[in-house]
Structure formats: C-alpha cells, structure tokens
Amino acid sequence: MSDFKATKAMFHLPEGVIYLDGNSLGPLPKATAQRVSQTVTQEWGELLITGWNKAGWMEQPMRLGNRIAKLIGAPDGSVVLGDTLSIKVYQAVASAIEMRPDRKVILSDSGNFPSDLYMADGLVRTLGDGYSLKVVAPADVAAHLTDEVAVLMLTEVDYRTGRMHDMAALSRQARDVGAITVWDLAHSAGAIPVDVAGCDVDFAVGCTYKYLNSGPGSPAFIYVAPRHADTARPALSGWLGHEAPFAFDPDYRPGTGVERMRVGTPPVLQMAALEAALDVWDMVDIADVRARSIELSQLFIEIIDERCPDLPLASPPDAARRGSQVSFHFEDGYAVVQALIARGVIGDFRAPDIMRFGFTPLYIDEQDVAQAANHLCDVIEQRLWDHPEFKKRAKVT
C-alpha cells in the first residue's frame, strides 16, 4: 500500500490552507525549487549552449515522456513532452483526420474542455473542403459514433462535473466503425489508472500541471500508438520533429516514432520542475491513488449530504463513473468559492454554477476533507458568501 503520509510530506502546502484545486494547478513539490535552481545556475549558467548535450536538455522531452507513459499504460518511447495541451490536441486531431481521407467528421461532446473544441474548430476551418466538427451531448456520443466519423475526440473526465467516459468501450466502438481516437487525459493522468495501450487508443494528450504537479504552464504530453508513430503526419512540422534537426535540410522529413510530434525548443526550466515532480510517482501505485481518492471524495459527499442535503451534486454519485473531483451546483458558487478561499479552503468555480473540489491523496487526507466539507456547509448555511467582497469577479475565475 502506498504511503500517503510520506507523499504529503513531499509537498509544500501553505500554513492553514486546504488545497482542493490540484485538478487545476498542483501544489509545489518540496524538491522542485532546488531542481529548478540547479537548472538555472548550474546548467544554463555554467554550461550555456552546451547544456543541450551536457545536461541532456534535448533528450528530456522523451526521457520524461517515458515516466509519464508508465502512468497512462503506454509503452516506452511512445510519449513525448512539449507545447501546451491545446497545441497537442491540434497535432493529434490533424494527424488523425489524415488517416481517414474518405471521412470528414470530427465527433466530440459538449463536456469536452472548450479549448479542445476551439482547436478542432480552427483545424476544420483551415482544412476547409467540407470538414466539420460535430458536438453532441456526452450521453449521445455512442449513438453518433458511426462510420462517417473520422476522428473521435473526447476528454475522459469532464472538467466541470468529473463525469468519466468509458474509454475502453468508446475506443472499441470507434475501432469497430473505423474512427481514430484522440483522448484528452488532462484530468486523468495522475488521477486515475489509464490504459491507453489496453484500450487500443490511437492518440492521447494531457497536461502535467494538474495531477502531475509540474507547475504553472508546464508542457503537455502526446501519446501516439506505436502502430501509427512512423506514419502519422505532423501538421505542425517543426524542426525538432525532423529526422535530423541539426542537418538543417531545406525539406521536412518527419523523425522516427513519437519524436516527430516535437515542434520547437522545449521549455527547459519547466521541464526541470516536471522532472522533480515526477519523483513522487516512484513511491505510489496509481491504483492506490485512485482507491484513496474515492474514499476521500465519498467522505466529502457524505458530510455535505448530512449537513447540506439541498446542495445538488453535479458529479455522478457513482464513484466509478467519476474522476478525482466532486462538484456541486450553486447559483452563487463563485462567491461561495471566494468565501471558502478566505477560510483557507481552495477549490474553484467553473461557469455557470459549478463549485469544483479536487481530491488528490498525494497531499490531502481525511482531516483536510472533513474540515473542508464543514467549511463549505458553514458558508452555505450561514450565507457567509453573501458579501460584496466575495462577489467581485477576478479576471481568472
């Protein structure tokens, strides 16, 4: 059994704060400051340009990709880091759609993160020629997954409600109708067991600053199934995806395997933060993380049910159909979340009325959960949120 007391000690959590927003930005692992500082002063400062070789910066996107691969059921050499998640979504969908030249539909759902939909929409407009993005309700995806669909693009865990798609079943159905799958694992990687190889997924993408705790704006990752990795065309054909980047050939020739999905120079300081953050995963089993996250989420729901039975759960009540977060509907949810932050409980709000709380066993325990649930009920029962200070919207909500 994974030792979550030990993992909690690996994170810096500000005094008096209960952090239930690791699903948006993971907290700082204690080892990170030192690791980043080493990259700045010892590597960049002392090695200068030779750091690309001597400090291994150039290989880092694949090296760290291999560590993430273990968390999502991907084989060695099939995952690479780089860019932002939106860019990785674009790359995956652009490559996927070319594999079905006789089809023109990208199927997605309204539970997808908006940026995924926006990126696909942008791609469709650039492709022109009758291509389209079809967005249906999450529950209707299976019914619309026909042999007209070129690409099925879904986020496994809904960012607002935590509702989970059945990745295995939908991927199987996609394969049966000849559609290529692109799964966004933003709220999956590091939160729940994922098995991209076992589910026969074609492409997967995800971010590292949520449950992987790599820091604000750290790079995304992309998985390409080995059966496609040497044939998928990179639409964003950057020099580091070239077969021989330093030959400076006038013509683009995609590199071998998933490395062809590299584009430009990797963000070395953010990579250093990611490297430090990944160490915690050597100490825990993702199955234990999942089991514990369910316990914590259930405890939260039970206390709310008991004390605030009128607060409508926005997440699936069945833990097996829910990611590592619990959400509630509340019209003045923004103000409630602000009032909670004032009490040291950090969750977040997603328009129009979702209060969202993430349960990450790496640094959250029962005591935190019980306290947070009681604070939430206090704020609601006593209408503590009903104060102008809490209703003033910040730019980032």
134 binds a second copy (CB under 8 A): no
Nearest CB to a second copy, comparing residues 310 and 395: 395
132 binds a second copy (CB under 8 A): no
CB within 8 Å of 291: residues ≥ 6 apart: none
Rounded distance, CA 189 to CA 43, Å? 29
Task: Give the residue from 189, 125, 123, 111 showing the smallest Cα distance to 151.
Answer: 123
239 is in an annotated binding site: yes
> 73, 75, 135, 142: which one contacts a second copy (CB under 8 A)?
135
271 binds a second copy (CB under 8 A): yes
Binders in 288-327 for a second copy, by CB under 8 A:
none
395 is catalytic: no
184 is catalytic: yes
Binders in 33-62 for a second copy, by CB under 8 A:
33, 36-37, 40-41, 44-46, 48-53, 57-59
Task: Give the residue from 128, 113, 137, 268 showing the smallest Cα distance to 187.
Answer: 113
234 is in an annotated binding site: no
Task: Give the residue from 56, 76, 64, 360 showing the smallest Cα distance to 221.
Answer: 64
90 binds a second copy (CB under 8 A): yes
> 3, 9, 76, 126: which one contacts a second copy (CB under 8 A)?
126
Nearest-approach distance from CB 154 to a second copy, in angstroms: 15
344 binds a second copy (CB under 8 A): no
267 binds a second copy (CB under 8 A): yes
210 is catalytic: yes
387 is in an annotated binding site: no
Please identify which of the residues 262, 356, 363, 390 carries the catalytic annotation. 356
95 is in an annotated binding site: no
Catalytic annotation, residues? 113, 184, 209-210, 356
